[in-house]
Chain A
Amino acid sequence: GQQVMQIPQYQHVQEGEDFTTYCNSSTTLSNIQWYKQRPGGHPVFLIQLVKSGEVKKQKRLTFQFGEAKKNSSLHITATQTTDVGTYFCASTSNSGYALNFGKGTSLLVTP
């Protein structure tokens, strides 16, 4: 399937600092999805990006899809302890049926 590389693997920030995770592919992606998994929980869908250059916001979270549709980012402004968890990006295969996840970025926020 289409491989997506996610960096960094871990990020530790102080509460109030910003955070960004990146998702990169060597091939053009049809779309990108982002999920959040709290410790001990299951992945929860955040958003899907489809269009080249697309930017979407959810409160303090900003999601971008690159112009070439080969990369994406999730930026959190002024992190809070409730943002702790692992953030995954995922891309759909060319067939549209398989879903390939990045390895995730684990975010730790200390007060």
Chain B
Amino acid sequence: EAQVTQNPRYLITVTGKKLTVTCSQNMNHEYMSWYRQDPGLGLRQIYYSMNVEVTDKGDVPEGYKVSRKEKRNFPLILESPSPNQTSLYFCASSFSRRTDTQYFGPGTRLTVL
């Protein structure tokens, strides 16, 4: 089944404890992206990747890191999480390098205490 998977789906952590949210797609998509969703703010793009080893900042990159060492994986890294990073995170992918139909993962709900 063609899909985007994220792990973990739920995470409660404490301030400053490094964490990684994994994202994987099995559709051989070129483009992958991370979004955060907050009430009243909609979806905001954190980082995106047009291809392996090619990444760029979205609208809200502060406090996040990403890497794209393999085409199928695009992990989101929070080196030192803070409470303002409590949010619902979505990974998405699309076939072409430019923004095309975005296929979203199921989401990761992160709480930073």
Contact = CB atoms under 8 A, between A and B. Distances in A.
A92 B42 contact: no
Nearest to B47: A98
B56 interface: yes
Interface in A19-50: 33, 35, 41-45, 48
Which of B35, B48, B102 has its CB near the most chain A CB atoms (within 10 A)? Answer: B102
Contacts, number: 66
Contacts of B56: 97-98
B98 A45 contact: no
A80 interface: no
B43 interface: yes
| Interface size range of chain A in the complex | 20 to 34
A103 B90 contact: no
B13 interface: no
A42 B90 contact: yes
A43 B104 contact: yes
Given A92-B98, A103-B40, A97 B105 contact: no
Contacts of B106: 41-42
Q: Which of A41, A43, A48 has the most chain B CB atoms closer than 10 A to its own CB?
A: A43
B42 A101 contact: yes
Contact of A42 (B41, B42, B100, B107): B107
Contacts of A44: 104
A96 interface: yes
5 contacts: A45-B101, A45-B103, A97-B31, A99-B33, A99-B45
10 closest Cβ pairs, A-B complex: A103-B42, A96-B98, A101-B43, A42-B104, A92-B99, A99-B99, A45-B101, A43-B104, A104-B42, A101-B42
Given A90-B43, A98-B48, A101-B35, 15 more contacts: A33-B101, A42-B104, A42-B107, A44-B104, A45-B101, A45-B102, A45-B103, A97-B31, A97-B50, A97-B99, A98-B59, A99-B33, A99-B102, A100-B45, A103-B41
